[in-house]
Amino acid sequence: MINRFLSDVTDGRYDGYPELGVDTAEMENPALRTWAGMDDGETGVRVNYVHAGSSAQGLIGKGDVILAVDGRTVANDGSVSDGDGRVPFGMLVDRRQTGESIPLRILQGGTRRDIDVPLKAYAPGDTRGNLYDQYPRYYIYGGLIFVPLDRETLKTYGAAWLARADRNLIHEFFIRPLFEPGVQLQERVVLLRRLDHPVNVDMAWFRNLVVERINGQEIRGMDDLVESLENHQGEFHLIEFSHLGRFSVLDRQKAEDAHQEILERYGIEEDRNL
């Protein structure tokens, strides 16, 4: 791991680990292997999903079977031989650097093919991992606290966040991207909480909701959110959420007039860290 890191930063930049970008299923079931067109004694894992924008997109498809990675046969449980033991086949991808390629043998449409997959980092995957040595990102406007939807946000629910986190956020984080490739490639933004003030206290919806649009502009990241709020000159801000068509309205001038007062009241030095 240390040698891999040192090799990565030789150009003065840390690129991190590349991602193949596929979700796979084990093929221990003989009926499944026969149904997939595999020969007797042939092993591998079935591709259930290919993430949009990933290394595998356009080269590997749903229903393909990964038979070998880097010349090593993939077992039906997804493992490959490694020295005296076995490791998940994804470890072989982890050992490569971003920009390198890795050879795969796949069963695709009844044909066995050898392909080289150029490896790249998968930007949306950054939201799935733990962040270290980074200050939380946020933006405050009119007492409303907006944050990116990432693992760190969900971890605010505590050690058992997977069970305790708001179900809407869990759906937006894990499920919705699987069915909407465009969402996969976006940074989702959450209205996390409000700092109570007369300018926002009567808002109908104000916590744990993913922002879909503001003032008619689709929100595809924190930058979009800031631009849509700070450049709008209308009388009101219309904030639309992804869940059940919910929306809230904020008086723009009153929100701007109260902004500094809210920050001082709650002892907040900066209204953003982007």
**Residues present in the chain in total:** 274
- From first CA to last CA, the distance across the chain in angstroms is 30
Residue percentage of the chain with pLDDT more than 90: 64
Residue 266: Cβ within 10 Å count: 13
Q: Which of 1-10, 171-180, 216-225 has the lowest mean pLDDT?
A: 1-10
Quickly state the pLDDT bin for 16 (edges 50, 70, 90): low
Q: What is the average pLDDT score of the chain?
A: 89
Report, as an integer, the average pLDDT of 189-210. Answer: 89
Quickly state the pLDDT bin for 177 (edges 50, 70, 90): confident
Residue-by-residue DSSP string for 116-155: EEE-B--GGGGGGSPP-S-PPPEEEETTEEEEE-SHHHHG
Task: Name which residue leads in pLDDT, 17 or 172.
Answer: 172
- Where does residue 229 rank: exposed (0-12), middle (13-18), buried (19+ CB within 10 A)? buried
Residue-by-residue DSSP string for 182-241: HHHTS--EEEEEE---TTTTT-S--SSEEEEEETTEE--SHHHHHHHHHS--SSEEEEEE
Report CA torsion sign: 162, 145, 228, 240. Answer: positive
Angstrom distance (rounded) from CA 153 to CA 208: 10
Residue 216 has pLDDT above 60, yes or no: yes
CA distances from 44 to 18, 21, 51, 259 (A): 21, 17, 20, 58
Quickly state the pLDDT bin for 1 (edges 50, 70, 90): low
Task: Name which residue leads in pLDDT, 41 or 53.
Answer: 41
Angstrom distance (rounded) from CA 205 to CA 66: 46
Tens digits of per-residue pLDDT, 109-124?
Answer: 999 999 999 998 876 5
